[in-house]
Amino acid sequence: MTRRLVVISLTALLLQGCSGNSGGWFSEPVATSLEPKDGYAPETVDTRPLIDDITALRVEPTVGGLILWATGLPPTQGYWDATLVKVGDADTSATALTYEFRIRPPVSPQLTSSPDSREIQAGVFVSDIALRDIRTLTVIGARNSRSVNR
């Protein structure tokens, strides 16, 4: 009697674990998504303006790739948060990498002063893997752009 009671108890316990699947063992699997209920947050857009002029562009080889350095000239002093932002879409050539030189404007009016005092540099590391088929590196400013060929 006790053996029968143990077997029935164990069987009931095992079958209770199957209760989470409402259709049983042989039903179609239910498709689930990892997307949040409200969807994903919209892609952020960089609202910083382009630097006024690109004055110089140089490439420095380094271990595992290169560093692309761009020098630019904003209209006044006080610009900050300079970054080279990669531009890419389906229409971009597979043999070119393009970056935009973006900077944040000053929070208050600033003096124009000399070009040397306004000069800003920004750089970006580009790996050998990303450079595999690339022949041209381009940096875009508001008034001009500069390119380097490999």
pLDDT at res. 103: 96
Entry field: residues in the chain: 150
Alpha carbon distance 84, 136 (integer Å):
15
Is the distance from CB of 70 to CB of 82 less than 8 angstroms?
no
Q: Which of 63, 83, 58 is nearest to 127 (CA)?
A: 63
What percentage of residues in the chain have a pLDDT greater than 90?
51
Q: In the structure encoding, which two tokens stand for residue 21, read together?
A: 């699947």
In this prediction the pTM is: 0.69
Q: What is the mean pLDDT of the chain?
A: 85
CA separation for the pair 77, 79 (Å, rounded):
6
Domain residue spans of the chain:
53-149
Q: What angle do CA 61, 64, 69 make, to 5 degrees?
A: 40
DSSP code of 2?
A: H
pLDDT band at 92 (very low <50, low <70, confident <90, very high): low
Residue of 38 and 146 predicted with greater confidence: 146
Range 80-102 average pLDDT: 85
Strands (E), 23-119: 53-62, 65-73, 80-87, 96-104
CB-side neighbour CA atoms (13 Å) of 144: 12
